[in-house]
Structure 1
Amino acid sequence: MSGKPRLTYLNGRGRMEPIRWLLAAAGVEFEEVYLETKEQYDKLIKDGFLLFQQVPLVEIDGMKMVQTRAIMSYIAGKYNLYGKDLKERALIDMYVEGISDLMQMILMFPFSPPDAKEKNLDSIKERATNRYFPVFEKVLKQHGQDFLVGNKFSWADVQLMEAILAVEEKVPTVLSGFPQLQVILLLNMVYSGARGQSQSDHLPMLCKSHFCGCNFSLTCCFLNLFLGV
C-alpha cells in the first residue's frame, strides 16, 4: 500500500464526499476503492476492517478508520485545518455540526418517494435560506474575514463550501440573497482548487460535476445495504 490515504466506499458521494472534500482542500492525494459487490463488503467485515459494519472506511497513517466525523476530525487536525486553539476548534465543531444537519437532508433526498421529491426539495430550500445560510452570512459579516474561524481556511469553510454547492445543484438561485456567501464560495473554490490542482483526479465528485458537467449518482441499493439509509 502506498503512503496515500485509501478511501473505501461506493462509487457515489454519500458520506465519503465530505472526506474527499477535506483531503482535496488539504492538497492530499488519495486512492479510492469502490465497493461493487456484496462479497467485497462481507470480506471487509470478516477481516475486521469495519468496526460497526458500515462504510466509509479510510486507511491512513496505519489506521483503519470508520465513522465520518472521527475520520474528518483526524484529517482536519493532521493537516492544520482545525483551528489554532481550543476556542477555534469549538467554533469549527459548532459550524460543522450545523452544516451537517443541512447535509443530512441533502444526503437523504435521492431516497425520497417520487411523490415526495418536490416537497422535500422545498424543505431543503426553506431550511437553507431561512435557517442555515443566514447564520453563516451573519458570521462572515461580523467576523470581517474571508474565513468562518480565525484568519485562515479551516474544516468549517470546506463543509460550508460543499453544502452551498450541493444546494445550488438543486436550487441554482439559492445564494441570490447572500452576498457574503457568494464571495466566500468563490474564494474558497479558488483556494481549494489551488491546493488540489496537482491531484485533479482526486477531487470530490460534486466538485467534478460542478466544473465538468459530469453526473455522479448515488448507488441507492448499495447505500441501503451498507449504510442502512
Structure 2
Amino acid sequence: MPPYTIVYFPVQGRCEAMRMLLADQDQSWKEEVVMLDSWYQSPLKASCLYGQLPKFQDGDLTLYQSNAILRHLGRSFGLYGKDQQEAALVDMVNDGVEDIRSKYIALIYTNYEAGKNDYVKALPTHLKPFETLLSQNKGGQAFIVGDQISFADYNLLDLLLTHKVLAPSCLDAFPLLSAYVSRLSGRPKVKAFLASPDHVNRPINANGKQ
C-alpha cells in the first residue's frame, strides 16, 4: 500500500502541486475521489476538520489545508531550502503563490465571465515579483530559491501552468519565468506526470471554467 493518500474531488485544483511533488520525488500515492454531487451531504464532509478537502494521509498522520500538506512534504523530502534563511524565502514564495491562487479561485467560481478581462490585465503585476526573485537567484537559471528544488517550486509551477491555460500569453513579458516553466516541466518525472492520462484527463476546476 502506498504510504500517502489524497482525498479530493476529481479535479487538479489544490492538489496538483502535491501530486507533481510526489511524482518528481518518485513516490506513489493512492487517490480517493470524492464526487461533488455527494460531497455536501456526505458524512466525510462532517468528519473533515475544517469541513473541506483536500484531506491527506501520511500513514497515521491526517492533514488538511493544501499548503500545510505541501510544507509537510517539503520537510519530509528535504524540499525546504538548505538553511533557515532559504526556508523563510520558500515560505514567502509559497504565500505569494497562495495570494494569486486565491484570486484565481475567486475569478473561476464567482466572476469568470465579467471579471476575466480585468483579471488578465492585472496579472503582470502579480507575476512580476516571481520574475524579480528569479533574477536575483543565479540569474534566473536555477530555482525560485537557492540551488535545489523546493515545495514552493512545484506550487508555483502548477500555478503558472494553470494561468497559461487561462491566458496563453501571460508569460510573454517574463522571459525568466517562461524559461523556468520549461525547465521544471522538462524534469523527467515531472514531464512524465504532466503527460500522464491522470493529469491530462483531470479538469483544472470543478465547474469546467479555466
TM-score for the superposition, normalised by structure 1: 0.78
Residue 26 (structure 1) aligned with residue 18 (structure 2): no
- Counterpart of 2:38 in structure 1: which amino acid? K
State the distance in 2 between where 1:134 and 1:199 align: 25
Structure with greater helix percent = 1
Cα displacement (A) at 1:136: 1.4
What's the counterpart of residue 137 of structure 2? Answer: 143
**How far apart in 2 are the matches of 1:27 and 1:75?**
13
Instruction: State the partner residue of 2:34.
Output: 35
Residue matched to 1:57:
55
Structure 1 residues 156 and 199, CA gap change in structure 2 (3 angstroms) = closer
Aligned residue for 1:67? 65
Cross-structure match for 1:223: none
Structure 1 residue identity aligned to 2:153: D
Match of 2:127 in 1: 133
Deviation at 1:93, TM superposition (A): 0.5
Runs of 4+ deviating beyond 3 Å: 195-203, 217-220
Question: What residue ranges of structure 2 are gaps of 5+ in the alignment?
Answer: none
RMSD: 2.6
Structure 1 spans left out of the alignment, 5+ residues: 209-213, 221-229
After superposition, the Cα gap between the structure-2 partners of 1:155 and 1:127, relative to the gap in structure 1 and judged at 3 Å, is: farther
Partner in structure 1 of residue 161 of structure 2: 165
Q: Does 1 or 2 have the higher relative contact order (CA < 8 Å, sep 6+)?
A: 1
The equivalent residue for 2:174 is 178
Contact conserved, 2:80 with 2:150, CA < 8 A, in 1?
yes
1:39 offset after TM fit, Å?
6.8
Q: 2-side partners of 1:93 and 1:73: how far apart?
A: 9
Q: CA deviation at 1:202?
A: 8.4
TM (normalized to structure 2)? Answer: 0.84
Number of equivalenced pairs: 204
Aligned counterparts of 1:72 and 1:102: Cα–Cα separation in 2: 17
Give the aligned partner of residue 105 of structure 1: 103
- Cα shift at 1:24: 2.6
Structure 1 residues 197 and 173: CA distance shift in structure 2, 3 A: closer
**Cα distance between partner residues in 2 of 1:41 and 1:4:** 28
SS of equivalent to 2:186:
helix
3-state DSSP of counterpart to 1:84: coil
The Cα offsets for residues 159-202 of structure 1, whole Å up to 9 and x where unpaired, read as: 221111111101111111111111111111112x4357489758
Task: Give the C-alpha shift of residue 56 in structure 1.
Answer: 0.6
Secondary structure, aligned partner of 1:80:
coil
2:6·2:56 contact (CA, 8 Å) conserved in 1?
yes
More moved, 64-73 vs 85-94: 64-73
Residues 26 and 195, structure 1, Cα contact 8 Å, conserved in 2: no
CA distance in 2, matches of 1:198, 1:15: 16
Query: How far apart in 2 are the matches of 1:74 and 1:180?
Result: 28
Percent sequence identity over aligned pairs: 23
CA contact 2:2–2:30 (8 Å) conserved in 1: no
Measured in 2, the distance between the counterparts of 1:163 and 1:188 equals 13
**Aligned partners of 1:175 and 1:198: how far apart in 2?**
22
